[in-house]
Structure formats: C-alpha cells, structure tokens
Structure 1
Amino acid sequence: MTGNATPAPVPFGARLRRAMDERGPLCVGIDPHASLLTSWGLGDDLAGLERFSRTVVEALADRVAVLKPQSAFFERFGSRGVAVLETCVAEARQAGALVLMDAKRGDIGSTMAAYADTFLRPGAPLFSDALTVSPFLGYGSLAPAVELARASGTGLFVLALTSNPEGAEVQHAVRGDGRTVGATMLARLAEENAPEVAAAGGAGLGSFGAVVGATLGDLSSYDLAIGGPLLAPGIGAQGATPADLPRVFGAAVRQVVPNVSRGVLRHGPDPVALRASADRFADEVRRAVHTAG
C-alpha cells in the first residue's frame, strides 16, 4: 500500500455495532404521512414536510443510533420533496446518526445498479449508510447493491420475514428443498456476512441485515444467526413492545435493531417530548436485551 492509498471504509456493521452500544439499539422512522403532519398542526404540503423532517432530525439525530426516512413520503411531493429528503439525510448524518433509507428497492441488472448508485455511492445526493431492499426477483438480483455496499462501507437490510400479514404468502412459501423463502433469505445473508464476521474475529456484526417483524411471535423455527443486524419493525403502534424481543428473537436479540416510528413521532412537534419518547424506548430495549443476556 502506498502513502497515497485511500484507506478502506469502515464497514457499516462495525459502525452500527458501535452506534448501538453507545446510543442504544433503536431505529426511529421519519414517516411524514399526511395524518401525522395534520396531527402536528402542519399542512400536508412542502412546508409541512420540511418542518416535520427538520424537527425530527434536530430532536433525535444526536442521540439515536439510526434514523430511517421512508422515501415514499418525500417522493410524493415530487422533486422538491426529494430535495427535502436530501437535506434530511445529510443533516442527520452530520449530527451523528446512521441513516437507513427505507426505499425497498428491488430490480435486476443495470437498474438495480442504478438504485444502488442512488443511495449507496459516496457523494450521491441521497447517500445513506444503509438501504432496505427487496429480494423477491431472486436474491442474486441484489448483487450490484451487495458489491457497492462492500466497496463503500454501507449496508443492506433485505426483506425476509416482514410484519405485514400479506407477506406470508411469499415469505412462508416452501421451496422444493423444503425451506421457506424467508429462511432462504436468512441463509443467504449468513453466507454474505461470514467473511466480514470472520475478519472481526468472529465477534463482529456483518453489514448485511434482514428485516424481521417484531410482531411475528415465536421464530424459533428460523435460524436468525445471520451474523448481521435484524431490523425489527412493529414496536409501538403495531403492538409489539421491547419486552417481547427476547421471546421473538431468542439468542439473536443482541443483533436486533428495533424500529419505532409512530410510537415516537406521535409526541411531536415538541422536540423535548420526541427526545423523551425515544430515550424511553431505548432504555426499555436495553433492559430487555440485558435481561435476555
């Protein structure tokens, strides 16, 4: 290596583990849907979108591990909404939060590569620390995003066992080898993470995570030891609580990144109330994980 060589980026998994240990294992969604804007006393318009996203970032980006903007709620305002999203991402990262872009992109070939460039290439206007992706055109279709994530030190969260009831007809379908589609996604992610975990002496967190709903109940029939993080939507408004996490995720609970959106956001626009709610959820998660450990 020459003196002018650019150092390799720190992998997303390592950065996520550090953030979770320092700030608590919590991901808060940034979901400016119309009813939430209204409940905050804001208009369902660009000005309301800007005020909402800035308030959440200013209140939480310096204290939670992960902020997760839902791209669709910004895209519905067109190019000006995307510009607000760009600012939201940049300011959240500048304040120290990891940004997980919830865009659930999934396609093939050059189109998948373009989606990866949009969110995972350093210097891109929407550059984020990680991206949610859909593998249901075949796990191999995600290869362009996987390759760019490795090169750029970013991460992916792959839909595997989602909390919406409609997901079961695909994710619980049984393949010819007797394994469900969801279990297959988990197994592929374990393979993806193995080199990164091995390089960290077997104790690290890989950069390729799965989305696994916290509302799904007993998941003991699934091997959740994928070596990477498990993004767990469903905490709060959907009915799951931090106390449920050990029962649902078992030995993998320390790899869980619980996602809370409405459970925190309903306390806005008061930034003090937003911070207090996020802190309360983070403390409850810490206690649950500590008790399980």
Structure 2
Amino acid sequence: MDRLIEAIESKQNPSVVGLDPTPALVPAQVMGAYAVEAGEYVEDDDDNLAATGAAAAYFEFNRAIIDAVADIVPAVKPQIAMYEALGPAGIDCYTMTCQYARENGLYVIGDIKRGDIGSTAAAYAKHLTGFDGADVWHEDAVTVNPYLGSDGIEPFTAAAQEADRDLFILVRTSNPSSAQIQELELNGGTRVYEHVADLVEQWGADTIGRFGYSRTGAVVGATHPEEGAALRARMPHTFFLVPGYGAQGGTAQSVAGMFDRDGSGAIVNSSRGIIGAWRNDPRYSETLEPETALEIVADNAREAAKDMRDQLRVALA
C-alpha cells in the first residue's frame, strides 16, 4: 500500500474518483457523436454497433475527467461492470482508461469484486500479475469478495506480493441490505463483518509496508461511521477504501473516524458526485457541441474534486 500512501501524501488528498460511466452520466451529444463515428467503422447490422459507440464515448468522457483531476487526486477507481455491460468494446475501454490514468500519474484501483476459488481465482488474480509478462489490465489494486474464505483470497494475496500490487477486500459495505449478512451475530457475539475484518488483518500480516499498512486493504462504507471507527481500531494495519461518499450519503465528517490519528489509513471514493457534477451546471444544453459539453464535464469534475478534497482536509485537521 506504500505507493498509494505516497500518492495521497503528495497530493495531500485522500480521495479517489470513481470512473463509473453510464449513458445517463455521459452528455447525450457525446454519446450521439461517437455512435455516428462508430457507424463509419462497424457494419450497420453489426450487433456491436451501439456498444462500440458507447465505449468510445465513455473513453472520451473518462479522459476529460482524468485530465481535469490528475493534479488534484491521487487515484481513480473504474468499476468494471459499467464497461463489461458493453461487451468486448467495453473491456477495451476499461483497459484504455486504466492505462491512460496510469500515464497521467494516477494510482488505479480496479473495482472488479471478484470471488472464486482454485484455478478460477488464480485466473482472476491475473488482473494484478498480467499475462505472460505483459501488464494487460494496468491496475495497481483490485477489489475482492471474501465470501469463499481464504481459498478465494490467497491467489490474490500471492499475486499482489509477486507484482507489487494491492487489494481491497469487502468488509462492511455501504449498501442498505448489507446488514442481512454482515450484521449477523456469530457465537460469542462477534458479527460477521467483524470476523471478516479479523481475517483481513491476518491475511495482510506478512506484507506490512514502511507506513505500517499491509497490501491487503478493506472496503468499509462511509454510511457506517460508528462501525467504521471501531474497525479502524480493530484493524490497525489495514488500509481502508471508503465508498459511499456524496450520492450515497457519506460526508467528510462521517468518514473522519476511519482514518488513523495521523490522518492516514484511508482513501474515500466519490463517483457520481464528481463525474456527474456537470448535470447541475446551467451552462449545459443538449444543443452544445460535444467538445463543449466535455469541457463542462471537466470543469465541474475538477471543482467537485477540489471541494471534496477541501472538505476532507477540514474534517481531518
């Protein structure tokens, strides 16, 4: 986790921008322009025409945001599902986005939430090690689901160690129905998420870096501030990825307890609050040229990222 912590310290900003594009979050004229462009290269009756155009639009949207925030934030977190929805063109867009972010000096968290065992888990872990010596995914860390236990985690911890990468394991997530499983009480009074937290701390024990945190991080939702603060004390060597800020209700004040006493130990994600900020700009109109619309996207993303940074600085002061 050392490289991420260094990036956070360099920017003095523990926030990450979630790059989760959807047709509703990309300006209509941008979607339309690249649909037309795709039609010049893809046969009209090709089932991939719409997806190819959407993937091209997503990439230009992502590129505009990355250009706007690269000097403000230390990291981005693309959610792979948004890209997989488009098929092969979407996967290309995902890897191109990760590569472009890397080229602009950003740490890339691949939000893939994989979970399986054996050879399948080992194959998923290629997100970290690459294939045949090639870094095909361009990710610095990935998210992992621990439901299958250590059989599903060990291939990722081994891959992270081999490739000098990191991972974030789901512990206490921000979605409302997470309580159906995560808050169940085990024998002895420990809740499921607390037991998982203990496992995550153990799984990373042999990889603690020079800042006191292991390669094995935890996903802890901003919508659970009291539990997050308790987990901070329970997991002293585990770095937190904190989703749920902004659109899901998390605030700078609610996440402050998830940081350590030095103001480190966590990075907070905002997706829609940054990449969708343009929708509240009165300058925007569907009659604008695509390039102008993307300029408005970039302007608003930059201001939203700066505002989030400043709010976190105040809360952690």
**Is 2:294 the partner of 1:286?**
no
Q: Which residue of 1 aligns with 2:108?
A: 99
**Is the alpha carbon distance of 1:112 and 1:258 closer, same or farther for their aligned partners in structure 2, counting shifts above 3 Å?**
same
Correspondence for 1:184:
195
TM-score, normalised to structure 2, is 0.80
Give the equivalent residue in structure 1 for 2:287: none
Residues 147-162 of structure 1: matches in 2 within 5 Å? Answer: 147-162=158-173
Rounded to whole Å, the distance in 2 between the matches of 1:263 and 1:29 is 9
Alpha-carbon contact 1:28-1:259 (below 8 Å) kept:
yes
- Which 10-residue stretch deviates more, 112-121 or 17-26? 112-121
Matches within 5 A, 1:5-154: 13-23=1-11, 24-38=13-27, 42-43=31-32, 45-121=54-130, 123-154=134-165
Distance in structure 1 (CA, Å) of the matches to 2:309 and 2:177 = 29
1:208 to 205, 216, 220: 216
Q: Deviations over 1:213-271 (max 9, x none)?
A: 11113125544434121111111111111122225667596312111111111234322
Among 229, 249, 254, the alignment partner of 1:244 is 254
CA distance in 2, matches of 1:40, 1:207: 42
Structure 1: segments with no counterpart, 5+ residues: 1-12
Q: CA separation of 1:165/1:250 partners in 2, compared to 1, >3 Å: closer, same or farther? A: farther
Native 8 Å contact 2:118 2:151 kept in 1: no
Work out whether residues 128 and 160 of structure 2, in 8 Å CA contact, stay in contact via their aligned partners in 1.
no
Q: Deviations over 1:3-60 (max 9, x none)?
A: xxxxxxxxxx110111111111001100102211246853482332222122122222
For residues 260 and 187 of structure 1, what CA distance do their matches in structure 2 show? 26
- Give aligned pairs, total: 275
Flag the 1:211–1:28 CA change in 2: closer, same or farther, 3 A.
same
Structure 2 Cα separation of the partners of residues 133 and 274 of structure 1: 28
TM-score normalised per structure 1: 0.86
More displaced 10-residue stretch of structure 1: 47-56 or 277-286: 47-56
Structure 1 CA distance for aligned equivalents of residues 150 and 236 of structure 2 = 15
**Which ranges of structure 2 fall in alignment gaps of 5 or more residues?**
33-52, 279-293
CA distance in 2, matches of 1:167, 1:217: 15
Flag the 1:151–1:253 CA change in 2: closer, same or farther, 3 A. same
> Using a 3 Å threshold, how does the CA distance of structure 1 residues 168 and 152 change in structure 2: closer, same or farther?
same
Q: Is the 8 Å Cα contact of residues 187 and 226 (structure 1) preserved in structure 2?
A: no
Instruction: Quote the RMSD (CA, aligned, Å).
Output: 2.2
Q: Classify 1:64/1:248 alpha carbon distance in 2 versus 1 (closer, same or farther; 3 Å).
A: closer
